[in-house]
Amino acid sequence: MERIHTKLQKAVAEYRRQGLCSAEIAEKLGKCPKNIDHVANTIGMPFSDEEKARSKRIGYEKLKTRAETSEERKQHHREYVSQKMPGWEWVKGWVFLDGERVLVRHIECGAVCEIASKTVRNGCPTACPSCEEKRRKQKEAEKIAKQEALEAERQKRRSERESRFWQQDFSQTELSFCPVCGGMTIGRKYCSTRCRNAWENARKKDRRIQKLSSGKCDKITLKALYERKNGICYICGGECDYSDFEVRPDGAFIAGDNYPSIEHIVPISKGGLHIWANVDLAHRICNALKGDQVVGL
């Protein structure tokens, strides 16, 4: 119900019937929008949420226009941005209006970036994209230069070794052949580390066979052990799988993890014997993980 008593209330009621918001009525009457809101509530004709939002937008636009044309406000923006974001200076934009994008310039490199007004007010330190890109390229260049220097140093050392090698007097040097691959060597037994490791592994296997044959041993086969132990791994208690293997095209036999194997309870390397009392059935993977440890005793 309308309660109109004064000329101001009458004018506000007339403009309210025309659908004007508080900012538009205040501009026509030369009053403050807050006073217009109070008068509208008093006469029982309050503004709707849509009209309040429209009035707020109009007020923001006025402030924005005033800020863009006022040198004092521009100076205030410059001081505020330099205080909140050291190393940056204000260029354009309304800092105190939510949703606005503010243009700021990085003092060091002069790059201009667009940042949200709320970010500026929060004083969040913002890295300059241009400077970050320059630093990234510089790091990449330093990394490439370091790699090139290392490669050049390796090439230099290789050339020096080759030069010293060919400057040797081979007239008194005895030529030999690698016992593994048969390749020719000069002044050493093996032609490469790979052949030396293969030879050492073969020697270890020979010493193991010699140790087995020199002591007391029984004739133990995997099939007989599998039948005696009912195919059960004594380490994990699982069932061994005789079909878990692969034969490659070159004829190589590759046993799977569940393939059965003969496991020495006390390893041969620790004095164990190859007898029925010292062997048991185990998965290939369990046997490999156990190694030379003594378990199950």
Cα–Cα dist 258/245, whole Å: 9
- Note the helical H segments in 30-101: 33-42, 49-69, 71-84
pLDDT for res 263:
86
| CA neighbor of 47 nearest in space, from 6, 13, 84 | 13
Per-residue pLDDT tens digits of the chain, which is 297 residues long: 445 568 888 888 888 888 888 888 888 877 778 888 888 888 888 888 888 888 888 877 776 666 555 677 777 778 888 888 887 888 887 777 777 788 888 877 878 888 788 777 777 666 777 778 888 888 999 999 999 999 999 999 988 877 876 776 666 666 677 777 777 676 677 778 888 888 787 777 666 666 665 566 777 788 888 888 888 898 888 888 888 888 888 777 888 888 888 888 888 777 777 788 888 888 988 888 887 777 655
Q: What's 200's DSSP letter?
A: H
pLDDT for res 164:
77
Buried b (16+ CB within 10 A) or exposed e, 89-125: ebeebbbbeeeeebebbbeeeeeebebebeebeeeee
pLDDT for res 1:
46
In a shared domain, residues 255 and 241: yes
Residues in the chain: 297
In a shared domain, residues 23 and 58: yes
How many CB atoms lie under 10 A from the CB of residue 133?
A: 11
1 found inside a domain: no
154 found inside a domain: no
For the chain, what is the domain count?
4
183 found inside a domain: yes
Helix H or strand E encompassing 192: none
In a shared domain, residues 77 and 122: yes
Cα–Cα dist 221/255, whole Å: 17
In a shared domain, residues 230 and 276: yes
Cα–Cα dist 39/31, whole Å: 11
In a shared domain, residues 208 and 220: no
In a shared domain, residues 49 and 90: no
